[in-house]
Structure 1
Amino acid sequence: MEQNINRFLLEQMFLKVLRVEHIESSSIDWSSHVQSNAWIIVAEGDICLTIDNQPYTIAGFQIIHLTKRGPLSMRATTKVSIYVIDYIGEILYRDELLLALQQQASLGQPIFFYTLINPFVVIEMANNLYCHYQKKQMLAVQADFHQLMAQVFAELGQQEQKHSVLEQALAYIERHLYQPISIQDVAQHTQLSTQKLFMLFQAHFGHGPKQYIQQQQRQLAQKYIQQPHYQIKDIAQAMHFNTEIYFSRAFKKWTGLTPSEYLEKSIIDKSEKPINNENHFQYNNSQLMQAKLFENGSNTIMLKKLATPFLVSLILLLAACGADSTQKTEDAPKEEATTRVIIDDAGREVEIPIKPERIVTDWYLGQVLALDIVPVGAVVANLDYAAFLKQYYKEGDITNIGTDGSVSLEKVLELKPDLIITWNVDDVEKFEKIAPTIVFSESAHQGASDEIKAMGDYLDRQAEADAFVQDFEKRIDAARQKIYAAIPEDATFTIFDVFEKNATVVANDSVSGGRALYQVLGMKPQEKVQELFDTKESNNGRYDVSYEVVGDYVGDYVFVINFFNKDENFPATWTNLDVVKNNKTLHLAPEYYFASDPLSVLHQAEEMAETIVEAAKSAR
């Protein structure tokens, strides 16, 4: 709205450029006197700007508009590039509406600062204007100046519009923090594509909307934990965590403390706050009456409500005093703990080594390898279908402990593990006779990053987990940006896993590239595919689709994976599809798309991004 007014005023103005100066130096001490209107475009440098004896600090690109007459000076000790344009700007036909608009608009203010997200076009236009001024081509100067001002307000208008959309998105998120929020929900509310929504958040916050939502939920959880009358299970339920255990684990990742420890600390912090005038309460008559009831011992109900936090603080204080009074001159040597008790993903309390070294797992090889740990034993017989993982260990480093879903307890016993990680609760009793055993589950964690952080906590490799997550998110963001630059906003995707008698549509949380394409890269499913995701349960990560109707599920980009139909015995309803007939399908090598651990998914996502970009190029 603001920039629309500025553009309207420009159309009513007589504009004439009086002088153009380009200051470019390693340091400056420049002064002048503003006798008309002026634009100052700081293209580069950190400067101290003084206007009519009022100092301002400018760091980096900035546009300043002046209608205020008076002395102007600029000083800098670093390299600068500045354009100063003196001009006359008068409204020819003044009426009450135009005068009111001029007073309201930034263009009519004595001094106004404008910031652009993308300054390069404006800098180029300012340089062209200066070149024409040097050559005394005044008609070109006037035309350049009109274009320059129009460009500035057009870009500001776009930023204004984006800011309005961003505010809508943030307001929607705030209203729905107590509900499971999907990126698609926010995009639909703001009438943006998920791609544009991601780029909008990336530009303003440096990360996507998912990270923003998680950040807001963390702050909300911390706020409620500080209220001792809210139970942890109620907060976990309100924040839509599957279990109290999962919430407690997530909360510890955010703050370094369990919810109970965080509450205890906040109580102590409040109790240690010094009493001063700022902390004094202004009592009203009702509060004074409550004080008298306390004095008489008659307000027992309120006393019970306050007893718990008060007693916690008192016990901690007495414990500290007791420790001080009984401290010996020479502290007895403490034995360093070698084990700790954790709560695994099945909710079991397990005592495990603090930093296990000899690890065996029946499924989670990728999660362990991501932490720079090579387990002594794992089910590696099927790794022909998880080939990305093979680059993270040497042949012979890992002993194969089973095939086809069965694990040899004899082989596990021979390896003398100090920790076993399993997916199967039913096998825990057998494994625990050999070594401490924890149950891990991908579904207990929100996304690949949380999955690795959780494994890092269990194995005491938090630094390695953080390093992996940082690299993972950086590379996935790069892959997304690469795709967004190559495809239309509304492009849709399908992954078919093809059999002889029927095709299947790969689910969005599945192996066969589903997790990588939809969850990690955030690509949009084809409309009928999205309907499957929303309304039906998958069968082992796939939806059965007969070849008679397979064409209804074809997206703009079609990936095909063929585990089980190597002879390629397909019916005509498949081979006559345009994407198949014209060789436009994108084939995924089965040996790289069986696993869906974060390490495999990272490589799958990057490979799929390259494949999509190449397909987009060839389609042009």
Structure 2
Amino acid sequence: MKKVIPLLILVLLVLSACSSNSSNQPAKSSGGAPSSPSASASSPASPEASQKSGTITYQSESGPVEVPADPKRVVVLSSYTGNVMSLGVPLVGVDSWSKMNPEFQDKLKDAQEVSDENLEKIIELDPDLIIGLSNIKNIDKLKEIAPTVTYTYGKVDYLTQHLEIGKLLNKEKEAQAWVDDFKQRAQQAGEEIKAKIGENATVSVIENFDKQLYVFGDNWGRGTEILYREMKLKMPQKVKDMALKDGYYALSLEVLPEYAGDYLIFSKNGDADNSFQKTDTYKNIPAVKNNHVYEADAKAFYFNDPLTLEYQLAFFKKHFLG
């Protein structure tokens, strides 16, 4: 059974996870989220316009959009906060999922929490660019406030998504440089991890949300893109069968042992009911008995933007190699 929550992931990371839509599906991640089957990236922004009028033309999913060549007051309504921050572009408004991310809080202390339904607050922020997922509400009204660009989650993979944000913000070179460097570092860490735990060791990523357990595929944040796509660590067959297509799969405690790999990454919501960890079913999972469960703060783990990916990579290196 699939449940749906407001977006994030994250995801956050939610077939509407970082937006303000309410639901009880695990948060959709951002570009990552991670993130699913790749599609053609948008065309590069037009360079000449920036010198003439202070704008560039970005080829979005829905057609060309004239956007600032050097945006100074960006509002992100879902998923892409970390992408924008990593490129050094100022944010004046972000979604609630970004605001609750403990890794983002200091960087976002001056940004206001906004939603796609609170148009008056967005107007007050006087944005020069608005970014969000394609399923946010009031897109036509938002376009009247500022140039608005939306993305369909999973239309391109998580690293291509960052390159698209780079094009939009007129920082494609910076985005490409980070992608190239990150892939090299993540793949190198993967080789070191496989040398330590074995080529055939399996890894599962689980999360608890709203009294429901989930296991994740390779494109829904929570570090799945790093573990499975870059590090090439193995996914248990049951996870592959049930979670790879949609990105996640809801399951009961009784069958969790069937989906548990030799190592478990537990994206843990501290304010949720985690009493299942006290049950014999959970305690008897081999990964639990072998102390191969690595717990991460779910609120910091939802997404697949560069800042979150760096955090996840450091987490994996610490726990697998430390």
TM-score by length of 2: 0.75
| Counterpart-to-counterpart distance in 1, 2:317 and 2:265 | 12
Q: 1:582–1:461: structure 2 CA closer, same or farther, 3 Å change rule?
A: closer
Counterpart of 2:304 in 1: which secondary structure? coil
Contact 1:360 1:421 in 2 (8 A): yes
Q: 1:417–1:389: structure 2 CA closer, same or farther, 3 Å change rule?
A: same
Q: 1:343–1:427: structure 2 CA closer, same or farther, 3 Å change rule?
A: farther
C-alpha displacement of 1:464: 2.3
C-alpha displacement of 1:457: 1.0
**One of 91, 94, 98 as aligned partner of 1:375:** 91
2:135 is the alignment partner of 1:427: no
Contact 2:186 2:226 in 1 (8 A): no
Q: 1:413–1:550: structure 2 CA closer, same or farther, 3 Å change rule?
A: same
| Counterpart-to-counterpart distance in 1, 2:133 and 2:308 | 18
Q: Which residue of 1 aligns with 2:259?
A: 553
Q: 1:569–1:489: structure 2 CA closer, same or farther, 3 Å change rule?
A: closer
| Counterpart-to-counterpart distance in 2, 1:417 and 1:464 | 23
C-alpha displacement of 1:420: 1.0
Q: Which residue of 1 aligns with 2:7?
A: none
2:93 is the alignment partner of 1:411: no
Which letter does structure 1 place at the counterpart of 2:282?
W
1:430-451 Cα distance to aligned partner (Å, 9 max, x none): 1011111111344232332x22
Q: Which residue of 1 aligns with 2:281?
A: 573
| Counterpart-to-counterpart distance in 1, 2:87 and 2:175 | 6
1:277-310 Cα distance to aligned partner (Å, 9 max, x none): xxxxxxxxxxxxxxxxxxxxxxxxxxxxxxxxxx
C-alpha displacement of 1:241: 7.0
**One of 165, 168, 173 as aligned partner of 1:455:** 165
Which letter does structure 2 place at the counterpart of 1:609?
K
How do residues 50-65 of structure 1 correspond to structure 2 at under 5 angstroms? none
| Counterpart-to-counterpart distance in 2, 1:491 and 1:457 | 38
Q: Which residue of 1 aligns with 2:112?
A: 399
Contact 1:378 1:400 in 2 (8 A): yes
Structure number having the greater helix percentage? 1
| Counterpart-to-counterpart distance in 1, 2:162 and 2:210 | 37
Q: Which residue of 1 aligns with 2:186?
A: 476
Q: Which residue of 1 aligns with 2:213?
A: 503
**One of 242, 260, 279 as aligned partner of 1:532:** 242
| Counterpart-to-counterpart distance in 1, 2:205 and 2:118 | 35
C-alpha displacement of 1:367: 1.1
**One of 54, 68, 72 as aligned partner of 1:357:** 72
Contact 1:503 1:544 in 2 (8 A): yes
1:216-238 Cα distance to aligned partner (Å, 9 max, x none): xxxxxxxxxxxxxxxxxxxxxxx
Q: 1:600–1:528: structure 2 CA closer, same or farther, 3 Å change rule?
A: same
C-alpha displacement of 1:482: 2.7
2:215 is the alignment partner of 1:489: no
Counterpart of 2:53 in 1: which secondary structure? coil
Q: Which residue of 2 aligns with 1:109?
A: none
Q: 1:550–1:337: structure 2 CA closer, same or farther, 3 Å change rule?
A: same
C-alpha displacement of 1:556: 1.4
Q: 1:524–1:414: structure 2 CA closer, same or farther, 3 Å change rule?
A: same
| Counterpart-to-counterpart distance in 2, 1:241 and 1:595 | 18
Q: 1:390–1:468: structure 2 CA closer, same or farther, 3 Å change rule?
A: farther
C-alpha displacement of 1:551: 1.6
Q: Which residue of 1 aligns with 2:310?
A: 602
C-alpha displacement of 1:581: 4.3
Q: Which residue of 2 aligns with 1:156?
A: none
| Counterpart-to-counterpart distance in 2, 1:382 and 1:248 | 25
Q: Which runs of 4+ in 1 moved over 4 A?
A: 499-502
Which letter does structure 1 place at the counterpart of 2:91?
P
Contact 1:476 1:606 in 2 (8 A): no
1:503-548 Cα distance to aligned partner (Å, 9 max, x none): 32122211333233223432210122222245xx53xx43122222
C-alpha displacement of 1:344: 0.8
| Counterpart-to-counterpart distance in 2, 1:500 and 1:432 | 34
Counterpart of 2:320 in 1: which secondary structure? helix
C-alpha displacement of 1:593: 1.0
Contact 1:401 1:411 in 2 (8 A): yes
Counterpart of 2:311 in 1: which secondary structure? helix
Contact 2:75 2:92 in 1 (8 A): yes
How do residues 314-329 of structure 1 correspond to structure 2 at under 5 angstroms? none
C-alpha displacement of 1:550: 1.9
Q: 1:343–1:484: structure 2 CA closer, same or farther, 3 Å change rule?
A: same
Q: 1:371–1:429: structure 2 CA closer, same or farther, 3 Å change rule?
A: same
| Counterpart-to-counterpart distance in 2, 1:473 and 1:366 | 17
2:52 is the alignment partner of 1:336: yes
Contact 1:487 1:613 in 2 (8 A): no
How do residues 127-526 of structure 1 correspond to structure 2 at under 5 angstroms? 242=39, 246=40, 249=43, 336-345=52-61, 347-363=62-78, 364-380=80-96, 382-384=98-100, 386-390=101-105, 393=107, 395-396=109-110, 398-402=111-115, 406-425=116-135, 426-448=137-159, 450-498=160-208, 503-526=213-236
TM-score by length of 1: 0.41
Counterpart of 1:443 in 2: which secondary structure? coil
C-alpha displacement of 1:413: 0.6
C-alpha displacement of 1:585: 1.8
Q: 1:457–1:589: structure 2 CA closer, same or farther, 3 Å change rule?
A: same
| Counterpart-to-counterpart distance in 1, 2:168 and 2:192 | 35
Contact 1:476 1:521 in 2 (8 A): yes
Contact 2:190 2:230 in 1 (8 A): no
| Counterpart-to-counterpart distance in 2, 1:599 and 1:500 | 26
| Counterpart-to-counterpart distance in 2, 1:499 and 1:612 | 25
Which letter does structure 1 place at the counterpart of 2:202?
T
Contact 1:502 1:545 in 2 (8 A): yes
Contact 1:529 1:553 in 2 (8 A): yes
C-alpha displacement of 1:502: 5.3
Counterpart of 2:145 in 1: which secondary structure? coil
Which letter does structure 1 place at the counterpart of 2:251?
V
| Counterpart-to-counterpart distance in 1, 2:212 and 2:157 | 32
| Counterpart-to-counterpart distance in 1, 2:274 and 2:307 | 31
Q: 1:595–1:367: structure 2 CA closer, same or farther, 3 Å change rule?
A: same
Counterpart of 2:249 in 1: which secondary structure? strand
1:484-509 Cα distance to aligned partner (Å, 9 max, x none): 33221111111222468653212221
Contact 1:479 1:606 in 2 (8 A): no
Counterpart of 2:71 in 1: which secondary structure? coil
Q: Which residue of 2 aligns with 1:613?
A: 321
